[in-house]
Homo-oligomer: A and B are copies of this chain.
């Protein structure tokens, strides 16, 4: 498993492009991305659990019923959600994309991110699609990665290379996390592509299983967006024997997928709104997977702990507090807590009670950009990891500012 350069166009047969079409007022921000596969690809996706679902998700879900897709169209600047004609607009986006590419409208994945409840005007998209389609290229992967961003401070793209049945396969992805210019853009979008041959059902299985351990373990502010979506296209151009059942190849593919998704999770969490630090909570010794995951996620979601981490404060009482209200099946009197970063590790709590520690050393450890909260539950063998970020003045600033 090697990490290679590139992102969504690293795999064979994929090209992409990204431009400013005019949905966003700032002309220096790209706002329309296109990803294209030379051949129709197996396709799978997972969607937000929010009852309020963006219209693009409804349309994508319908389009992926047959497990096949060939292109992804995504705009930023407007979520196309809670609008009366949202579904019609999302369908039209698919049709315009299909027309420009000469493919079927039902083979298009459509996604939008931006303000909720404001009509999305199709004119700039209609006008831009021919140019967007004609500028598709491998190098355009970077443009696409930029065009899906909102106030993310960094482009998020990664790709890996691996072998399946002796064939070199690649899997890459791009993501947008939770950063905002206009509020309500706190949507996580992830587009993955691979040239591995994977049957649609197995692709969905791999994605659903992976997302439960990766993107569903990321929290920036506890608000589940209406437009979250992770999708993957597998066009089979690597020439490996089609993966249509579990086995060694499926495991290899899952590992490649997980390498990409964990990397993107860390990028999304560390680039959360206003964040100055990536927080990782690693839970060991859980009674079962549910207990470990519930515990890890509760720690990452605690506003009090997030603010303490911003202040580099080794306030382990907040970790215990978050474990206590998490709902996880655990014994408080067995809990141990340590803080870790590149500067070292420091134990602060054992068996549910404090242990003496150097505040100075703790401060040094917590002043780093990537902090791991190590929690041992002492109840069993299950492990889980969750990712988040600190809570900062800038989070309030970004989200308190007026939309207009």
The chain A residues found within 8 Å of chain B, CB to CB, are 49-53, 79, 81-84, 115-118, 183-184, 186, 221-226, 301-304, 307-308, 310-313, 315-318, 320-325, 330, 332, 349, 352-354, 359, 363, 391-393, 395-404
Contact = CB atoms under 8 A, between A and B. Distances in A.
B311 A401 contact: yes
Given A303-B399, A313-B183, A396-B310, A325 B224 contact: yes
Given A52-B323, A226-B320, A399 B183 contact: no
Contacts of A324: 50-53, 224, 226
Contacts of A304: 183-184, 186, 221, 223, 399
Contacts of A391: 396, 399-400
A331 B221 CA distance: 25
Contacts of A50: 321, 324-325
Contacts of A401: 311, 313
A347 B117 CA distance: 14
Nearest to A304: B223
A181 to B, nearest CB: 13
Given A320-B226, A352-B82, A354-B82, A396 B392 contact: yes
Given A51-B323, A303-B399, A117 B354 contact: yes
7 shortest interchain CB distances as A-B pairs: A116-B317, A52-B324, A307-B399, A311-B400, A117-B354, A50-B324, A224-B325
A353 B84 contact: yes
Contacts of A330: 51
Contact of A321 (B52, B118, B317, B403): B52
A305 to B, nearest CB: 8
B400 A308 contact: yes
15 contacts: A81-B317, A82-B353, A116-B321, A117-B320, A183-B307, A226-B317, A226-B320, A226-B324, A303-B395, A311-B401, A312-B402, A313-B400, A313-B403, A363-B402, A391-B396
A354 to B, nearest CB: 4
